[in-house]
């Protein structure tokens, strides 16, 4: 049985738009297009294939990328903070699968450490990103996982 990998990362940053809805947003708080574009550029700088443009969901954005032999999707959302807190960016890492396999839950299985490490490398090397926390899917959904500073931390 393979070891469970942290596949959700949260972080704080004021470098991205989180207050000004754009006319192309599906919903007014559909922030994250600039996060997705930045991540695509950073992935390509590291020699990793990625989409040319992000896609939009009703709550945020997504992008696809390829790490040798495996396709992945990053789903990006923003949870607004209270008062002067800028809130938290949330990224889910999933395997890119076809419709049937997605319906059977296989997007959450088979995620490899090189894909997670690529995202961690990008986030942790940016001075504009702080409070990076990696979470297990199960714990994050139950709000019982405070996260770790790296995806492979025990």
Which residues are paired to 75 by β-bridges? 62, 92
Residue 147 lies in a domain: no
Q: Strands, E, within the chain: which ranges?
A: 8-12, 49-50, 55-56, 60-67, 70-79, 88-95, 130-135
For the chain, the farthest-separated pair of C-alpha atoms sits apart, in whole angstroms, at 47
Does 150 reside within a domain? Answer: no
Q: Judge whether 57 and 75 are in contact, CB under 8 Å.
A: yes
Q: Give the residue numbers spanning the domain of 92.
A: 8-141
Any domain includes 50: yes
Mean pLDDT on 60-68: 94
Structure confidence at residue 2 (pLDDT): 47
In a domain, 1, yes or no: no
Between the alpha carbon of residue 7 and those of residues 29, 86, 102, 128, the distances in Å are 24, 23, 16, 21
Q: How confident is the model at residue 116 (pLDDT cuts 50, 70, 90)?
A: very high
- Judge whether 154 lies within some domain: no
Which of these, 130, 134, 128, 96, lies nearest to 116 by C-alpha position? 134
For residue 135, the model assigns a pLDDT of 93
Q: Domain for residue 152, yes or no?
A: no
What is residue 1's predicted lDDT score, i.e. its pLDDT? 35
Q: For residue 146, tell me if it sits in a domain.
A: no
**Is the residue at 2 inside a domain?**
no
Tokens 């470098």: give the residue.
Answer: 15
Asked if 137 and 7 count as a contact pair (C-beta separation under 8 A), the reply is yes
Taking only Cα atoms into account, the Rg of the chain, rounded to an integer number of angstroms, comes to 15
Q: Which of 36-40, 77-81, 148-152 has the highest mean pLDDT?
A: 36-40
Number of independent structural domains in the chain: 1
pLDDT digit string, tens, across residues 77-111: 999 887 767 889 999 999 875 554 444 555 566 68
Q: How confident is the model at residue 54 (pLDDT cuts 50, 70, 90)?
A: very high
């Amino acid at each position: 049985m393979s070891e469970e990998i942290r596949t959700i990362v949260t972080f704080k940053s004021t470098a991205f738009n989180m207050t000004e809805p754009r006319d192309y947003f599906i919903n007014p708080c559909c922030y994250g297009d600039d996060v997705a574009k930045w991540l695509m550029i950073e992935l390509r700088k590291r020699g990793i294939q990625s989409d040319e443009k992000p896609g939009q969901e009703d709550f945020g954005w997504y992008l696809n990328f390829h790490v040798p032999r495996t396709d992945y999707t990053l789903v990006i959302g923003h949870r607004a903070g209270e008062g002067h807190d800028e809130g938290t960016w949330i990224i889910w890492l999933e395997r890119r699968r076809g419709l049937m396999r997605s319906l059977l839950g296989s997007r959450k299985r088979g995620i490899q450490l090189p894909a997670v490490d690529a995202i961690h490398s990008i986030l942790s090397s940016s001075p504009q990103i702080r409070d990076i926390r990696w979470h297990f899917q199960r714990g994050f959904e139950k709000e019982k996982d405070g996260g770790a500073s790296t995806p492979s931390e025990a």
